[in-house]
C-alpha cells in the first residue's frame, strides 16, 4: 500500500464544490501512497478550503491564478511528466469549461495542456448533474477518453436526494491506482507490446456514464477467483504451533487486484495481521486441513485458483489436548509429523471442474528447476517463482520480483517492485491466460 504510487506525479485539481473538503483526505491518501501531488485550485475552491491546507498536505505550493504562476509551477510545467490530472471534486462549471476547451484559470489551462490521462470526479446538486447541458458535457469528455469517476446517489449537501455526491476519497484513490497500474503495465512491457508512447493510451471504447467505476479494464467481470494466502498454523498443543514466515501480503495484494479488475474473489486466509481487501470475501482458517476444506468448498465453482498460501508441509500427528510440560530427566521432546495434503496439487490434478490453476514457488536454491518441477508435478497452468533467499523481496517484504513459467518455459518476468504493482500485473496476465 505504501509504495503503490511511488514515483507518480499527480496534479490534483480542486474546484468550488462543497465536496472540496473531501479532496483533503484524497490528497493525504495519494501522498501516503508515495505520489508527488501538486494541487491546483480554482478561485471558488479557495472559498471552501484554504490553500494552506493543501500546501501542508501535499508539501508543494498550491497554484490558483494563471498570472501568479512561477516557472516551476506554470500550467505547462505542472503537467509535464505528470502521470495523471485528477479533478476532484469537479463542478458543473469546470466540467463545462473543460468540455469546451477553456483555459481561463490555472486548472483549466493545465487540463488543456495535459498529455497524460485526465480523470474527473463530478460533484454537484442532482438537478445540475441531470441537466442535459452537464450530461452533454460529460459525454463529450468521455468520448475524448477522459475518465469519469461517476458520482453516487444519496443525500446531498444541499438537502436534496439524488445522484451527484462525489465518491468517497478512498474509492477515488482505488480508481486512481487502477488507472495508473495499467500505465505501469504499458511501461513495463514497452518493447513487448510495441507501444510507441509512454503514457496510458486513451480508452479505446467510450466509457459509460452510468458505470460507477469507470476503469480502463474490467477483464475480471464474470470470473470467480479463489486465492489462498498467508501461513498455516499446525497445533502442537493448545498453546503452541508450527508455522512459517509468510505475511500473506502477496496473496492479499492479488485478491485486491482481482477485485479491482471486476472479479468475484474469495480469499482463504491463514492467520495474518492484514485487513480484508475491499470487495473481497475472506474466509479465515488456521491449519492446512481447514484450508483444504475451505478450498474444496469453493473450487468447483471457481474459474481461477491461485495458491499463494505457504501451507505447512507437515502437521503434528497427535495434537496434545493439554499443554505439554517440560519433563524432568529428558532433554528432548519428539514430535511425530505427518504429511499435510497438497492443496494446490489437489486442484491442479482434478479431472473435472478444474479451474485455471496457478501456484507459487518460494525457493531458496535451484530456483528455476524447482519451479518447473512444481508446475509439472502439481498439474499447474502457471507457476510464479520468487527467490525468498533474497531478504529485500519475498516473505514479509513489501516488494517482490517474480518469474512466471508455463509448461513451455518463461512467460514473463517482473523486476523488483511493490507487491501491489506485481499483483496487478500478475492478475491481468493470469486472467488473460485463463480466458484463452
Ligand atoms: C456553498 C456552495 C457550494 C457549492 N457547491 C457546488 C457543487 O457541489 N457543485 C457545483 O458544481 N457547484 C457548486 N457551487 C457553485 C460553484 O461554486 C460555482 O459554479 C463556481 O463558479 C464554480 O467555480 P469553479 O468551477 O471555477 O470552481 C457551490 C457554491 C456554493 C456557494
- 382 forms bridges with which residues in the sheet? 358
Whether 121 and 46 have beta carbons less than 8 Å apart is answered as: no
- Centre of ligand 1 to C-alpha 194, Å, is 44
Whether omega for the bond prior to residue 106 falls within 30 degrees of 0, making it cis, is no
Q: Which atom of ligand 1 is nearest to the CA of 128?
A: 11
Strands (E), 107-169: 118-122, 147-148, 152-155, 161-165
Please give the CATH architecture assigned to the domain spanning 9-193: 3-Layer(aba) Sandwich (3.40)
CATH topology of domain 224-435: Rossmann fold (3.40.50)
C-beta neighbour count of 196 within 10 angstroms: 7
The response to whether residue 98 sits with its C-beta less than 6 Å from ligand 1 reads no
CA-to-CA distance for 99 and 118, rounded, in angstroms?
A: 12
Q: Which residues are catalytic?
A: 158
From the list 418, 284, 426, the residue with the least C-alpha distance to 359 is 426
Mutation to probe ligand 1, out of 14, 17, 45 (largest number of atoms < 8 A from CB): 17
CA-to-CA distance for 279 and 263, rounded, in angstroms?
A: 9
Q: Alpha-carbon torsion 204, 180, 30, 61, what sign?
A: negative
- Would you write out the chain's pLDDT as a tens digit for each of its 436 residues? 445 787 789 999 999 999 999 999 999 999 998 899 999 999 999 999 999 999 999 999 999 988 775 655 677 777 778 889 999 999 999 999 999 999 999 999 999 999 888 999 999 998 899 899 999 999 888 878 788 888 887 777 767 777 889 999 998 998 888 777 753 333 333 222 223 333 344 443 333 333 333 344 578 888 999 999 999 999 999 999 999 989 999 999 999 989 888 899 999 999 999 999 988 999 999 999 999 999 999 999 999 999 999 999 999 999 999 999 988 888 999 999 999 999 999 999 999 999 999 999 988 888 899 999 999 999 999 999 988 777 666 566 777 889 999 999 999 988 887 788 788 889 989 999 999 8
CA-to-CA distance for 185 and 175, rounded, in angstroms?
A: 16
CA-to-CA distance for 140 and 137, rounded, in angstroms?
A: 5
- Centre of ligand 1 to C-alpha 54, Å, is 18
The response to whether residue 44 sits with its C-beta less than 6 Å from ligand 1 reads yes
- Centre of ligand 1 to C-alpha 125, Å, is 10
The response to whether residue 77 sits with its C-beta less than 6 Å from ligand 1 reads no
Same fold, 9-193 and 224-435: yes
List the domain boundaries for the chain. Answer: 9-193, 224-435
From the list 231, 224, 222, the residue with the least C-alpha distance to 250 is 231
Classified as helix, coil or strand, 408 is coil
Largest CA distance in the chain: 88
Residue with cell 483533503: 24
Amino acid at each position: 500500500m505504501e509504495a503503490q504510487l511511488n514515483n507518480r506525479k499527480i496534479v490534483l485539481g480542486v474546484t468550488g464544490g462543497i465536496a472540496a473538503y473531501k479532496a483533503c483526505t484524497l490528497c493525504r491518501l495519494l501522498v501516503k501512497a508515495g505520489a508527488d501531488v501538486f494541487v491546483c485550485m480554482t478561485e471558488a475552491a479557495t472559498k471552501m478550503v484554504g490553500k494552506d491546507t493543501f500546501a501542508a498536505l501535499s508539501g508543494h505550493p498550491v497554484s490558483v491564478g494563471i498570472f501568479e504562476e512561477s516557472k516551476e509551477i506554470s500550467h505547462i510545467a505542472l503537467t509535464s511528466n505528470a502521470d495523471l490530472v485528477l479533478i476532484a471534486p469537479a463542478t458543473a462549471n469546470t466540467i463545462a469549461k473543460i468540455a469546451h476547451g477553456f483555459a481561463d484559470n490555472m486548472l483549466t489551462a493545465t487540463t488543456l495542456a495535459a498529455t497524460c490521462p485526465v480523470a474527473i470526479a463530478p460533484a454537484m446538486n442532482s438537478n445540475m448533474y441531470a441537466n442535459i447541458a452537464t450530461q452533454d458535457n460529460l459525454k463529450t469528455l468521455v468520448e475524448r477518453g477522459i475518465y469519469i469517476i461517476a458520482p453516487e446517489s444519496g443525500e446531498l449537501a444541499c438537502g436534496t436526494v439524488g445522484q451527484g455526491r462525489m465518491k468517497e476519497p478512498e474509492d477515488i484513490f482505488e480508481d486512481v491506482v487502477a488507472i495508473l497500474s495499467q500505465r505501469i503495465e504499458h511501461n513495463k512491457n514497452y518493447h513487448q507490446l510495441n507501444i510507441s508512447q509512454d503514457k496510458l493510451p486513451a480508452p479505446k471504447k467510450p466509457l459509460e456514464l452510468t458505470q460507477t467505476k469507470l476503469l480502463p479494464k474490467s477483464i475480471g467481470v464474470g470470473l470467480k477467483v479463489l486465492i489462498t494466502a498467508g501461513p498455516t498454523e499446525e497445533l502442537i498443543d493448545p498453546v503452541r504451533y508450527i508455522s512459517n514466515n509468510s505475511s500473506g501480503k502477496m496473496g492479499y495484494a492479488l485478491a485486491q487486484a482481482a477485485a479491482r479488475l471486476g472479479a468475484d474473489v474469495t480469499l482463504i486466509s491463514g492467520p495474518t495481521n492484514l485487513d480484508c481487501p475491499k470487495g473481497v470475501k475472506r474466509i479465515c482458517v488456521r491449519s492446512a486441513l481447514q484450508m483444504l476444506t475451505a478450498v474444496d468448498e469453493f473450487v468447483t465453482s471457481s474459474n481461477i485458483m491461485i495458491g499463494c498460501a505457504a501451507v505447512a508441509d507437515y502437521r503434528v500427528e497427535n495434537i496434545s489436548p493439554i499443554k505439554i510440560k517440560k519433563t524432568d530427566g529428558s532433554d528432548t521432546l519428539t514430535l511425530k509429523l505427518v504429511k499435510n495434503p497438497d492443496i494446490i496439487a489437489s486442484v491442479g490434478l482434478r479431472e473435472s471442474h478444474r479451474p485455471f490453476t496457478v501456484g507459487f514457488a518460494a525457493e531458496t536454491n535451484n530456483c528455476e528447476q524447482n519451479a518447473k518441477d512444481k508446475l509439472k508435478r502439481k498439474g499447474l497452468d502457471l507457476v510464479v517463482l520468487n527467490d525468498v533467499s533474497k531478504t529485500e523481496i519475498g516473505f514479509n517484504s513489501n516488494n517482490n520480483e517474480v518469474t512466471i513459467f508455463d509448461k513451455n518455459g518463461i512467460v514473463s518476468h517482473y523486476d523488483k517492485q511493490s507487491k501491489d504493482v506485481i499483483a496487478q500485473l500478475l492478475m491481468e496476465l493470469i486472467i488473460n491466460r485463463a480466458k484463452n
